[in-house]
Structure 1
Amino acid sequence: MLATSIRGLGATPSMRPAGALHRRTPPPITTPPHPKIQNNRLLFPALLHSNGMSIAHFSSTPSPLRPPPTTTSASAASTITNPVVITSPLNPPTTTLPAPISLPSKDPTTAKLKYYYTLGKAYLTFYKTGLKNVYHNYRASLPLRRRLGLNSLLPTSPPPPVYSVKHVNNAPILKQYAGKVSRSEFQLIRRAAYDVRRILPFSVILLLCGEMTPFVVLALGNMVTPFTCRVPRQVEKERMRACQRKEAAVMAAEVDSAGYGSSRKASALANLDVLLNATSIPHTVDVNELINRASTTGVLRACAVFRLSRGHELPAVSFLPGFLKAEIVNQIYRPRLRRWMSYLEVDDWLITQNGGVEGMSPDEVRIAVEERGGVDVSVGLVGEEAERVERRWLENWVEGRGGEKMVEREMPLSRAEQSRAELSRAEQSRAEQILKSSRLGEFGICVGLRYLRRALNRMTSSTLGVTIVYDMAWDSKLRNCGCNDIE
């Protein structure tokens, strides 16, 4: 029985080696014809899912359904919130202005170390916010710069230098700015470029000085500080300096005007009085022509009024001769003043095109007034009274410079008109030279006649009546020649 069974065959000595009789061979594994699903698991669930089939779980307790996986788009994950928002065609974003700063109050019961630590932390937070705003403002201005054809890499300020040449037609450029950008976008471009040019030296000062940065910045002024990083104390101190520079420039111009005597027109042209004491410049005034004809001292005084220089004189080069000083003014300050007045013309035009002065915020009104030389308009006034005076002053300025007639006054001349103008200037110069030579010859004749008269008087001293006749005739001749001062 055992021999014929499976277990008996497995235990037969002829089939097993010696010494292995006590071992038992396991039965062979046979695959059942119909496999059962055990533990409610399948072998290839992914294959079924890919074929659109669902998995059925045969169990007494149903398992919870898993929600489908959510995928986040790369564009939504990489989106960076830009705080620069233009809400008005007239006022630029608030990120172009200094952020509000909250300084701790000095309490005598608080330790000095804790107070100064809190103060330094507040300043660092303020400067950090200002630097972030510089970055965001420039990023927001890049599409606008490309729209105006400005370089995206170099932070240059509009309008382009070609606009500030001596003789140029303003109408196409003004219409270009008015048609492509609003006043808020134009100011965003200009202020972002202004701040980017100062961000590198200011960052170095901030890294080196840390909490002492406000004191260093107060000593250096606005030369290295972006506009978004200026604390209120620094802004007020710079405003007082600008008032002092303007007062000194205006007083110097008044002294020169008194020296001119009755020639008030020559004094005004030399000293740029229309720019120094301007509450409004009529549209009939050609500012470029005034700047071209002004003296070097007049240009320096106007630069001091418009905050384009640190004074109305050149103290650092006082040892240089006059012609070198004039060359410095002609190469640096005169083009700078001409370009600044061009910027003001564009800004005036955009103000009139985008709502007028009444739509500007108080901060923008004050900035615009100071840019136009009215830094001393609201001295001694605060609050709504100062705002009312500044707004009225700016309205008078823009009314004269921002109208349609400003564009019409500088229409280019035709080629024939230019030729006639050049010919008339040449003829006038030639006539002046001829007149000068004739006057010089007549002057020599008069001098000779006077010496001849003296000789005749000595020779004919006995005939007194004849001498008197000669004196009267020759004196009248000399008086007509304008040579009475020759003895």
Structure 2
Amino acid sequence: MVHTSSSSAIGRGFTLSVLRVCIYSSHDSRALLLLLPATRTAWQSTGRLSSARYYSSPSSSSSAAATASPKQPQEIAVPLSVSPDAANPPASTRPPPLDVPVRAPETSTFSHLFSVGKAYLTFYKTGLGQIFTNMQLVRALPAATTTRSHLLLRERFQHDIRRLPLFGLLMFVCGEFTPLVVLAVPSTVPYTCRIPAHASKLQRRLEAQRDTARRKLLGDYDDVNATIITTRIMADVVARSLGLVSPHWERIGGAPGPLALLRVRKRLHHLAEDDDLLVQAGGAPALEPEEVRLAANDRGVDVTGRTDDELRGVLERWLRVTTVTDNVEERERRMLVLLSRSTENWP
């Protein structure tokens, strides 16, 4: 009876999702060139990596804009107030708590396994329910994205609703054995249905893939002075370090250049928008602990074994570097350098 109601609910959710058409703007297709040594020198001599824009007050920003030269980008006023509601998406976009029962000495193996399976089934049902909750929240949003909370709510809902039909089918067929089956197909699991052990495994795999890609880049180019890193090379490294392409492409020499470049440019566009909205909401201090780790991971930062306070500091450094300029190409170059290196090697 539970399966039947779940199937009908999934069908209704999939039908409603088809009615929602999301249009994203994209940048022009001009290729980017990155000179790692030259770019770093330019930052130190002209950019100075200052935090003036990041911490500017409305009054000081307005006066600076009035006296600025027409050839220089104007400073953008950034409120200093911290707004957690604007910075963090609803808790329903993240997995619910998973309460796995502890086996008592007098409990039989069968009874314990049955209780564990029931706990996982309850977890998945709650996660699926959160997807429909998020659907109602998305419908109530204004047409334009005004806060980081709105942006991430839309993106996570779209991610989950695309995976809902197949995951719902797996859950309908496998029932309590779903946690074992999805280990073979992790990409089919919505965000709200990822168990902690599954999420940790995916995180460790991504960080290992990220380390391999960065080591290869440093081994090939770091010992050459004034080496020009083309868009294709950089896009391939960043795409692998962020998990934007399947690791199976490694078997044939890497993902196609145009595919990696397209996905990297979309991610850069998303990160630029996310940075601006995060700064408007008060920066890293406004983020909840779980969102700190998610934001750091989105920016290519390894989070395993690091504290929340340490990751907040890393996000502060990222924002100071990437939001100091309004020039799109310069901003993308800065993000590419940060994404292609571990935090210990950031400028």
TM-score surpassing 0.5? yes
Partner of 1:343: 270
User: Do structure 1's residue 127 and structure 2's residue 124 form an aligned pair?
Assistant: yes
Structure 1 residues 127 and 301: alpha-carbon distance in aligned structure 2, compared to 1, 3 A threshold = same
Q: Distance in 2 between matches of 1:363 and 1:204?
A: 29
Please say if residues 138 and 153 of structure 2, whose CA atoms lie closer than 8 Å, have aligned partners that are also in contact: yes
Which amino acid in the other structure matches residue 149 of structure 2?
A: S
Which amino acid in the other structure matches residue 369 of structure 1?
A: A
The Cα RMSD (Å) is 2.3
Q: Distance in 2 between matches of 1:395 and 1:364?
A: 14
Identity between Structure 1 and Structure 2 (%): 30
Please say if residues 102 and 122 of structure 1, whose CA atoms lie closer than 8 Å, have aligned partners that are also in contact: yes
Partner of 1:111: 108
Please say if residues 198 and 226 of structure 1, whose CA atoms lie closer than 8 Å, have aligned partners that are also in contact: yes
Cα offset, 1:388, TM superposition: 1.1
User: Do structure 1's residue 399 and structure 2's residue 320 form an aligned pair?
Assistant: yes
User: Do structure 1's residue 193 and structure 2's residue 147 form an aligned pair?
Assistant: no
Q: List gaps (5 residues or longer) in structure 1.
A: 1-85, 149-176, 271-292, 319-324, 412-487
Post-superposition Cα deviations, 1:95-123, rounded to whole Å, max 9, x if no partner, equal: 01100010011233211111111111111
Structure 1 residues 300 and 391: alpha-carbon distance in aligned structure 2, compared to 1, 3 A threshold = same
Q: Distance in 1 between matches of 2:260 and 2:231?
A: 12
Q: Distance in 1 between matches of 2:320 and 2:330?
A: 18
Alignment of 1:58-457 (within 5 A): 88-144=85-141, 147-148=143-144, 177=145, 181-221=146-186, 223-257=187-221, 261-263=223-225, 265-266=226-227, 269-270=228-229, 293-295=230-232, 297-311=233-247, 314-318=249-253, 328-330=256-258, 332-374=259-301, 376=302, 378-381=303-306, 386-403=307-324, 405-406=325-326
Which of the two has higher C-alpha Rg?
Answer: 1
Q: Distance in 1 between matches of 2:323 and 2:155?
A: 19
Structure 1 residues 408 and 373: alpha-carbon distance in aligned structure 2, compared to 1, 3 A threshold = closer
Q: Distance in 2 between matches of 1:395 and 1:209?
A: 44
Structure 1 residues 407 and 140: alpha-carbon distance in aligned structure 2, compared to 1, 3 A threshold = farther
Normalised to the residue count of structure 1, the TM-score between the two structures is 0.48
Post-superposition Cα deviations, 1:200-226, rounded to whole Å, max 9, x if no partner, equal: 1100110111111001112222x1000
Post-superposition Cα deviations, 1:156-214, rounded to whole Å, max 9, x if no partner, equal: xxxxxxxxxxxxxxxxxxxxx4xxx1111111111111111111110011011111100
SS at match of 2:185: helix
Structure 1 residues 102 and 329: alpha-carbon distance in aligned structure 2, compared to 1, 3 A threshold = same
Q: Distance in 1 between matches of 2:304 and 2:194?
A: 20
Structure 1 residues 213 and 391: alpha-carbon distance in aligned structure 2, compared to 1, 3 A threshold = same
SS at match of 1:89: helix
Q: Distance in 1 between matches of 2:216 and 2:269?
A: 25
Post-superposition Cα deviations, 1:394-441, rounded to whole Å, max 9, x if no partner, equal: 1111122235x3258789xxxxxxxxxxxxxxxxxxxxxxxxxxxxxx
Q: Distance in 2 between matches of 1:108 and 1:310?
A: 44
Which amino acid in the other structure matches residue 294 of structure 1?
A: T
Alignment of 1:17-28 (within 5 A): none
Structure 1 residues 123 and 262: alpha-carbon distance in aligned structure 2, compared to 1, 3 A threshold = closer
Cα offset, 1:365, TM superposition: 0.6
Higher relative contact order (CA 8 A, sep 6+): 2
Q: Distance in 2 between matches of 1:215 and 1:408?
A: 44
Q: Distance in 2 between matches of 1:208 and 1:401?
A: 47
Structure 1 residues 262 and 129: alpha-carbon distance in aligned structure 2, compared to 1, 3 A threshold = closer
The number of residue pairs the alignment matches comes to 249
Normalised to the residue count of structure 2, the TM-score between the two structures is 0.67
Runs of 4+ in 1 over 4 A off after TM superposition: 407-411
Q: Distance in 2 between matches of 1:316 and 1:205?
A: 28
Which amino acid in the other structure matches residue 380 of structure 1?
A: G
Cα offset, 1:344, TM superposition: 0.3
Please say if residues 123 and 211 of structure 1, whose CA atoms lie closer than 8 Å, have aligned partners that are also in contact: yes
